[in-house]
Chain A
């Protein structure tokens, strides 16, 4: 018995557990957007006057550097309203200077749920880095290693080497204001106009999400953000981000009308909410896009200055 337990524990279980713990720790310590934004907000939220929330479109389309007030972009790729709400709730009481919340409402946002999307694996980052309280007991939403392949362990090895100071692995793609820096005009890929495929993919995603009926929940999250903002005298700006014509032309009109109606209703109901639809704004030309539903650095500057003028003009 002793021999068996020693062999199992010391030759297999302990080394395996050690590898798992080191790999998980190393992966968590690789700098990424979630860790950076949470840390930045934890340290600097008292200085923030404009907070931008939303998904990849806000992350790449809104550059707070062009605002006259101190802004921070707390959007993440595929971030659903549930997590906009979570980040807002976590930091709102630490933002005495906050005046505006910019909330990007994508085509799919009112219907969507991060958990029920192909990007569900991002949920864990909110638990690991933001300390979200959702799904504390579900492994797949809490551990980097829960779903893994060779790539995960390669990343873990790089992370471990980074911890030892032998490598500089980083998955951070945002600047100090939280703006995504990778989508530049220079880096735009050859076949950048993916509007049809993206719109069809989102149509499909929305039609699936509609059956699951996440809209009521998203409405609740949005309403809570608006009401809490109103209590603190903060204005909420709902924004539909600019889209390239190939994307717009392939959107499902029924879903699109529901999305816009979702925003209109809040703007009509609450005095602290205003709504701007840039999705078919003619001021944005081909050269402003990185792909059909994201702006590049040029377009982001244009949109950010427009938003700034809206804010300053008040």
Chain B
């Protein structure tokens, strides 16, 4: 049940009526309805994995209570156990076969014969998201930032909250569990804001990202058959597709959360206006980067503190590799992480690594030229990284880059779907213009201050809906649901 489908609209409509009418302000019952809806939602996507989700929830719920009850040493032991359980689950379902294969290749390459049999392991949807939620819960309980909840339903709902279950954002327990425990009555402003954010997310996903697939799918399925011009365009366009797809999903998830009275973690803050890679990562998949920063980078940074800037570089590189391999079982993800880690080195050496400078506009309302150049450079660097990210193997990445630089094979654009690409680029340009104008707001369609007249706002919403209905591409799965 895709979040942008009619079936979801029906499912959500029923939940909305139950949640706000018979169960109005009955927090416990509302949480039960959310939990049932979340398990139903997950069951439709992957019913065989429901027991796993439930079992892990029970384990982490119990660990939370045990950590609070125990003395420091035992609490640390239980926390370690929790982290290990989460990592081991991820490792087993996501990485085991990959490591077996990789070791087999390694041994074979040095002349050792190995008979590597892989397991028939089914990848549970959303595992990277819900295990991270659970790991952060035990860590935060151990750190004393939150009290372990004794309300199992609230904890299970935090883990399986359906809008964010399959592709995030990864909510933190400190922010989300208290919301589950507080009284929730209908909030008009929040619901309108959420509805508008859903529409904006659908626009990004269905009009921009889904139409780009017609062009990009053709290129990536036959990299060696494309000329340099086509590959270059594909490399430049892919970041937009990924952004429109993933941030579109996040907008929809956050919007659904808002209608139900929740503030879900923000996941994107206009990453293509970033002027360096550090700014980019502070605004791209923020719920993951902040998670990894808190639980991987910060401890490493403390540990390597004595090594000066070299220690910081090492911590950043490890941090970025973890972000890379979080995405899946391919060396290209590790390469992607390493590449981004290396991009931080000049920033660390120049001292601009942690600098946060608000972006401003010139008298024409546009970015200053030097900012614009920096944004363009960052975009190009990100595009190169995303070639690695999207490549099926390091070899395909090398092929891609080599073919891009074969200027003798420039040629005309060869992939199909060019018309759909032109259309989606047109709407992407509109999206970026709206985002630039609205860069201080949570998302670009928060237009109540720009257009205070209601009729005008409604005309814009209708225009967007018409564009969605008439020009959406063929339905594609959300890219991040496969991670």
Interface residues of A (CB under 8 A from B): 1, 3-4, 7-8, 11-12, 16, 147-150, 153
Contacts and interface: CB of A to CB of B under 8 A. Distances in A.
B469 interface: yes
A1 B470 contact: no
Contact of B470 (A11, A16, A150): A150
Contact of B188 (A4, A11, A147, A153): A4
Contacts of A149: 470-471
Given A11-B458, A12-B465, A16-B465, A1 B471 contact: no
Nearest to A7: B192
Contact of B192 (A4, A147, A148, A150): A4
Interface string B175-193: 0000000000010100110
Nearest to A151: B470
Nearest to A1: B186
Interface of B: 20, 186, 188, 191-192, 195, 458, 461-462, 465, 469-471, 474
A148 B188 CA distance: 33
B470 A8 contact: no
A9 B168 CA distance: 29
A8 B461 CA distance: 11
Contact of A148 (B458, B461, B462, B470): B470
A12 B471 contact: no
Contacts of A16: 465
Given A11-B458, A148-B470, A1 B20 contact: yes
Contacts of B470: 148-150, 153
A12 B186 contact: no
Nearest to B470: A150
A4 B192 CA distance: 7
A193 B462 CA distance: 47
B201 to A, nearest CB: 16
Given A12-B461, A148-B469, A150-B470, 13 more contacts: A1-B20, A1-B188, A3-B188, A4-B188, A4-B191, A4-B192, A7-B192, A8-B195, A11-B458, A16-B465, A149-B470, A150-B471, A153-B469
Q: Interface SS of chain A: helix, strand, loop or mixed?
A: helix
Sorted nearest first, the 4 A-B pairs with minimum C-beta distance are: A1-B186, A150-B470, A4-B191, A4-B188
Contacts of B191: 4
Contacts of B471: 149-150
A44 B259 CA distance: 57
Contacts of B461: 12
Contacts of A4: 186, 188, 191-192
Contacts of A150: 470-471
Contacts of B20: 1
A4 B474 CA distance: 31
A149 B20 CA distance: 36
Nearest to A19: B469
A3 B192 CA distance: 10
B218 to A, nearest CB: 16
9 contacts: A1-B186, A4-B188, A12-B462, A12-B465, A16-B465, A147-B474, A148-B470, A150-B470, A150-B471
Contacts of B192: 4, 7
A11 B471 CA distance: 22
A200 B465 CA distance: 41
A12 B459 CA distance: 11
Contacts of A1: 20, 186, 188
B17 to A, nearest CB: 10
A148 B191 CA distance: 30
A251 B191 CA distance: 61
A24 to B, nearest CB: 13
A16 B191 CA distance: 20
Contacts of B465: 12, 16
A155 to B, nearest CB: 12
A121 to B, nearest CB: 12
Contacts of A7: 192
Nearest to B461: A12
Nearest to B469: A148
A11 B455 CA distance: 11
Nearest to B259: A4
Contacts of A12: 461-462, 465
A276 B465 CA distance: 55
B40 to A, nearest CB: 19
A99 B37 CA distance: 59
